[in-house]
Chains A and B, each alone.
Chain A
Amino acid sequence: MIVLAQEIFEKTLARLSEQLTTYLPPLLVAVAILSLAYVLARCARWLIAKAFKGIALDRFLRESGVSSLLDPAGHLRGTAVAAAAIYWLILLTGFLAALDVFDTKLSSQIIEATVFLLPKLLTAGLLLLAGFWLAQYLGRSVLVWSVNEGIPHSRKLAGGVRMAVAFVAVVVAADVLNFARDVFLAAFVIFAGGAVLAASLALGLGGRDAVRRQLHGREHLSEETPEKSAWSHL
Chain B
Amino acid sequence: MPDRELPEKAQRAIELIRQADIVIGIPSYNNARTIGHVVQAAHAGLAKYFPQFTGAIINSDGGSTDGTQEAVLSSRLEERQLLLLTTPLTGVHRLSFPYHGVPGKGSAFRLILQMARSLKAKACAVVDSDLRSITPEWIDLLVRPVLHAGFDFVAPYYHRHKYDGTITNSIVYPLTRALYGQRLRQPIGGDFGLSDRLIERYLARGGWETDVARYGIDIWMTTIAVAEGFRICQSFLGAKLHDAKDPAADLSAMLHQVVGSVFALMQEYDKVWRAQQGSEPVDLFGFRYDVGLDPIEVNVDRMLAAFLRGCRELAGIWSLALAPETLAGIQRAAGVATALPDQFHLDDELWVRIVYDLACAHKRMPFERGHLLRSLTPLYLGRVASFVIETRELYAAQVEDRIERLCLTFENLKPYLLASWDEKPVTASSPAAPSAGEAREAVEARSEV
Contacts and interface: CB of A to CB of B under 8 A. Distances in A.
A228 interface: yes
Interface in B188-229: 188, 190, 215, 218
B165 A232 contact: yes
Contacts of A234: 165, 167-168, 188, 190, 215, 218, 245, 247, 254, 258
Interface in A142-167: 143-145, 147-148, 150, 154-155
B306 A233 contact: no
Interface stretch (B91-99, B138-146, B363-371): B363-371
B131 to A, nearest CB: 11
A137 B302 contact: no
Given A140-B371, A148-B374, A228-B248, A63 B364 contact: yes
A interface: dominant SS: helix
Interface string B368-412: 101100110110000000000000000000000000000000000
A147 B378 contact: yes
A198 to B, nearest CB: 22
A154 B247 contact: no
Interface string B239-259: 000101111110110110010
Contacts of A65: 365, 367-368
B310 interface: yes
B367 A233 contact: no
Nearest to B309: A147
Interface string A52-63: 000000000011
Interface of B: 161, 163-168, 188, 190, 215, 218, 242, 244-249, 251-252, 254-255, 258, 296-299, 302, 306, 309-310, 313-314, 317, 320, 364-368, 370-371, 374-375, 377-378
The 4 closest A-B pairs by CB, nearest first: A229-B248, A228-B248, A233-B167, A148-B252
A173 B191 CA distance: 55
Contact of A232 (B164, B302, B309, B310): B164
Given A144-B371, A147-B309, A147-B378, A233 B299 contact: no
Contacts of A63: 364-367
B242 to A, nearest CB: 7
B248 A141 contact: no
A48 B251 CA distance: 47
Contacts of B161: 231
A17 interface: no
A147 B365 contact: no
A227 interface: yes
Nearest to B306: A150
A231 B252 contact: no
A158 to B, nearest CB: 8
Contacts of A140: 317, 368, 371
Contacts of A154: 309, 313
A147 B251 CA distance: 13
A231 B374 contact: no
A155 B167 CA distance: 28
A138 B5 CA distance: 37
A148 B374 CA distance: 8
A141 B252 CA distance: 13
Given A144-B371, A232-B242, A234-B188, A150 B167 contact: no
A64 B298 CA distance: 39
Interface string A194-234: 00000000000000000000000000000000111111111
Given A144-B317, A154-B313, A155-B313, A231 B296 contact: yes
Contacts of B252: 145, 148
Interface centre among A63, A64, A145, A147 (most CB of B within 10 A): A147
Contact of A141 (B168, B366, B370): B370
A73 to B, nearest CB: 12
Interface centre among A145, A232, A233 (most CB of B within 10 A): A233
Contacts of A147: 309-310, 313-314, 375, 378
A226 B320 CA distance: 30
A151 to B, nearest CB: 10
Contacts of B374: 144-145, 148
Interface centre among A137, A140, A229 (most CB of B within 10 A): A229
Contacts of A64: 367
Nearest to B317: A140
22 contacts: A140-B317, A140-B371, A141-B371, A145-B374, A147-B378, A150-B306, A150-B309, A228-B248, A229-B299, A230-B244, A231-B161, A231-B164, A231-B166, A232-B165, A232-B244, A233-B165, A233-B166, A233-B167, A233-B247, A233-B254, A234-B165, A234-B190
